[in-house]
């Protein structure tokens, strides 16, 4: 009797779950069917949704509801707290599965090549996001001693970082932030947050909704300088071609012409300022030096030679995420991606048999969460084409029970989908006690304890 197509997905964030969903909706899901195992390094699933989205964005976190329905399907198993490659290697995966999809995302900070990035008080945005989202693998404390702070970048991550730095801890208390994050933010001394963009309003990468949300806080005064509102032919064309670009520019224009109010925390959005140096003294950040830029007619900018030093005590670099290299797979260190053709991993000009990628490890850390769905559909289509044409390898141990036996024999304390539901219930119970929806459990050991039980 034919057996189901066995697929391993490494990474149980949105990209991996969308790939599982695409497999389940394919013709291959009919007899003899598909059998999918998701492997996740953290004890809990959902990746970027749990550990990359700001806690005051419950609307975006609502995507979890749709992902939850996928993981509820009987053809899918979750193995959490399993690290690739230390707990399970590519050779191991090939022994158990017909195909492997890597959807490991991007969690590191892309480097900014200017002097001073290594000073105390110079931080990667990804590390700060992991802290305030309660990731189990980062320190429980964060230094928030600076009264004036710079954030470099004009994307949604930069806005999240700036907003969290500018909000009060009590504003964020109704969210799922754990106690250590609340205590850290309660001690935050920041009164001014300065966000810097190298180009102009029409080149900002904010989404309109994210931008407008900055102004909703009763404690944050958003300030835009009138001289930072400027457009050239390329900028005007961009506004005409993209409704969202026009909405962002219009919002910034409106803020630039209004009077500055009395809200206690000031959040400045600066354009046409290119960071050239993080200024230090005795090994610590004491300022940021920028060069004024101007538009060149195409929407790009050139330097003017005019320099300014800003009085700030901390700098957060939100200039992009970068994926980690995956052992046994080829890697492009410039783009931070695994070389691929539509999701098929390419090594030496040839497809690495039965090996695929999807999400940010496939195309780089750009776009919104929903964009990973198209990635997943494309990758799964390639996988199924290879399956239909006999190009997948034959695993030596395809039985489903072989995987949990292997992990137990290695002493891996893995979590399951039922374990996630127990952890989910425990976090919600903590929230009820504080009249909140949820309080996130942070420590890995505590997550494993809450997940434990009979499946």
Q: Kindly list the distances between the CA atom of residue 92 and the CA atoms of 88, 237, 261, 396, in Å, as whole numbers in the listed order.
A: 6, 52, 61, 10
Domain boundaries, given as residue ranges, for the chain? 5-107+323-414, 109-321
Residues facing residue 351 across a β-bridge: 346
Q: What is the reported pLDDT for 318?
A: 95
88 pLDDT above the threshold of 70: yes
Residue 240: CB atoms within 10 Å: 10
Euclidean distance between CA atoms 46 and 17, whole angstroms: 8
423 pLDDT above the threshold of 70: yes
Euclidean distance between CA atoms 407 and 414, whole angstroms: 8
Q: What is the reported pLDDT for 73?
A: 95
Euclidean distance between CA atoms 73 and 77, whole angstroms: 9
Percent of the chain with pLDDT over 90: 89
> What CATH class is the domain 109-321?
alpha beta
Q: What is the reported pLDDT for 27?
A: 80
Angle at which helices 233-241 and 243-256 cross, to 10°: 120
59 pLDDT above the threshold of 90: no
Euclidean distance between CA atoms 245 and 239, whole angstroms: 5
pLDDT digits (tens, 9 = 90+) for 10-58: 999 999 999 999 999 988 777 789 999 999 999 999 998 999 999 998 7
Q: Which of 352, 332, 347 is nearest to 94 (CA)?
A: 352
Highest mean pLDDT among 27-36, 233-242, 321-330: 233-242
Angle at which helices 156-166 and 125-132 cross, to 10°: 60
Q: Which of 169, 273, 263, 253 is nearest to 215 (CA)?
A: 263
Euclidean distance between CA atoms 128 and 144, whole angstroms: 11
Euclidean distance between CA atoms 411 and 438, whole angstroms: 31
Euclidean distance between CA atoms 182 and 185, whole angstroms: 5
CB 411 within 8 A of CB 405: no
* 340-341: strand order across its sheet: 76-80, 34-40, 5-10, 99-102, 350-357, 344-347, 340-341
Cis preceding linkage at 32, omega within 30 = yes
Residues facing residue 149 across a β-bridge: 193, 314
* 220-224: strand order across its sheet: 122-124, 314-317, 148-152, 192-196, 265-270, 220-224
1 pLDDT above the threshold of 70: no
* Domain made up of 5-107+323-414: CATH architecture: 3-Layer(aba) Sandwich (3.40)
Q: E-strand spans in 52-203?
A: 76-80, 99-102, 108-109, 122-124, 148-152, 192-196
Q: Name the helix (H) or strand (E) containing 308.
A: strand 301-310
Higher pLDDT, 61 or 336: 336
Euclidean distance between CA atoms 441 and 444, whole angstroms: 8
Euclidean distance between CA atoms 398 and 404, whole angstroms: 12
Q: What is the reported pLDDT for 372?
A: 87
Angle at which helices 179-186 and 125-132 cross, to 10°: 120
* 297 Rama sector, left if φ>0, alpha if ψ -120 to 50, beta otherwise: left
pLDDT digits (tens, 9 = 90+) for 126-173: 999 999 999 999 999 999 999 999 999 999 999 999 999 999 999 999
Q: What is the reported pLDDT for 211?
A: 95
């Amino acid at each position: 009797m034919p057996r189901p197509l066995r697929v391993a997905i490494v990474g149980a964030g949105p990209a991996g779950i969308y790939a599982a969903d695409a497999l389940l909706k394919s013709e291959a899901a009919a007899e003899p069917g598909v059998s999918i195992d998701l492997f996740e390094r953290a004890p809990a699933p959902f990746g970027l949704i749990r550990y990359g989205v700001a806690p005051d964005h419950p609307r975006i976190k609502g995507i979890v509801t749709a992902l939850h329905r996928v993981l509820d399907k009987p053809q899918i198993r979750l193995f959490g707290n399993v690290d690739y490659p230390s707990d399970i290697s590519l050779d191991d995966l090939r022994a158990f599965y017909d195909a492997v999809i890597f959807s490991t995302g991007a969690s590191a900070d892309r480097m900014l090549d200017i002097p001073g990035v290594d000073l105390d008080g110079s931080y990667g945005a990804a590390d700060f996001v992991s802290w305030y989202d309660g990731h189990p693998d980062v320190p429980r404390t964060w230094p928030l001693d600076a009264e004036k702070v710079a954030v470099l970048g004009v994307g949604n991550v930069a806005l999240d970082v700036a907003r969290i730095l500018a909000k009060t801890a009590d504003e964020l208390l109704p969210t799922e932030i754990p106690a250590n994050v609340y205590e850290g933010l309660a001690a935050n001394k920041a009164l001014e947050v300065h966000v810097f963009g190298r180009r102009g309003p029409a080149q900002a990468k904010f989404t309109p909704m994210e931008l407008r949300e900055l102004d909703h806080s009763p404690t944050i005064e958003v300030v835009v300088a009138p001289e930072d509102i400027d457009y050239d032919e390329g900028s005007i064309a961009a506004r005409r071609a993209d409704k969202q670009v026009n909405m962002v520019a219009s919002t910034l224009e409106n803020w630039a012409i209004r009077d500055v109010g009395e809200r206690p925390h000031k959040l400045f959005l600066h354009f046409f300022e290119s960071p050239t140096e993080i200024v230090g003294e005795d090994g610590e950040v004491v300022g940021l030096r920028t060069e004024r830029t101007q538009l060149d007619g195409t929407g790009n900018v050139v330097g003017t030679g005019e320099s300014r030093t800003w009085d700030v005590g901390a700098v957060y670099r939100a200039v992009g995420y970068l994926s980690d290299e995956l052992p046994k797979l080829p890697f492009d260190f410039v783009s931070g991606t695994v070389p691929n053709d539509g999701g098929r991993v390419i090594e030496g000009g040839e497809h690495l048999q039965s090996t695929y990628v999807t999400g940010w490890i496939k195309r780089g850390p750009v776009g919104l969460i929903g964009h990973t769905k198209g990635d997943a559909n494309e990758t799964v289509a390639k996988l199924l084409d290879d399956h239909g044409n006999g190009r997948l390898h034959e695993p030596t141990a395809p039985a489903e029970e072989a995987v949990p036996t292997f992990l137990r024999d290695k002493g891996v304390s893995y979590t399951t989908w039922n374990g996630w539901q127990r952890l989910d219930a425990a976090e919600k119970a903590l929230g009820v006690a504080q009249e909140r929806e949820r309080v996130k459990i942070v420590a890995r050991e505590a997550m494993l304890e809450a997940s434990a039980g009979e499946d």
